[in-house]
Amino acid sequence: MIGRLTTFAFFLGLQALLASALLCAALAADRAASNAPPDSQNRIIKLTDKGLEPQVLKMKKDDYIVFFLNSSKDSLTTLEVDYGEKPTHCTSGNLAVRRTGIVGSTKPFGPRDFVSLCFHDVGTYPLTVYGLTAAPKGITGSILVE
């Protein structure tokens, strides 16, 4: 059962990434024609050698996907996001939903690698990143969906 859920979550994440890539390609073509910067429906939190950028990410309910990009020089990082009672709709393949409402890494991800999560419900989602040089015992942040 858990294997099927993990596979299902992986394919949902893959579909979200594909849809995002197609959207980006369409927006890039439109931008080339108009020279106006596109509005992204996705957000990025960079995991750097100094910490999280931004440490608190504010986004609209319709923004959906957040990418956690490991921009460190050599840190192997793991991630935990507390969804509480809110449902989790999609995750990257190397994240797993736990019974406690926590979505966490199943294995570390290195520099230039990323994980992604969907946020469809309004609320605050506390997160902790482990393994960064700036805070080897963990650094906290949050995602605020308005």
pLDDT digits (tens, 9 = 90+) for 87-108: 888 889 999 998 889 999 999 9
SS3 call for 71: coil
Q: What pLDDT is stored for residue 134 in this prediction? A: 84
Average pLDDT, the chain: 82
Give the pLDDT band (50/70/90) at residue 37.
very low
Note the Cα 106 to chain centre separation in Å: 14
Compute the average pLDDT of residues 69-79.
96
Give the pLDDT band (50/70/90) at residue 9.
low
Residue numbers of the domain that contains 96: 2-145
C-alpha to C-alpha distance for 43 and 16, rounded to whole angstroms: 13
Total structural domains within the chain: 1
Compute the average pLDDT of residues 29-53.
72
C-alpha to C-alpha distance for 120 and 128, rounded to whole angstroms: 20
Say which range, 30-34, 49-53, 77-81, 132-136, has the weakest mean pLDDT. Answer: 30-34
Q: Which H or E run contains 7?
A: helix 2-34
The domain spanning residue 63 has which CATH number? 2.60.40.420
- % of the chain at pLDDT higher than 90: 58
Compute the average pLDDT of residues 106-128.
95
According to DSSP, the β-strands at 139-145 and 56-59 are: parallel
- What DSSP string runs through 25-59? HHHHHHHHHH-PPPPPSEEEEEEETTEEESSEEEE
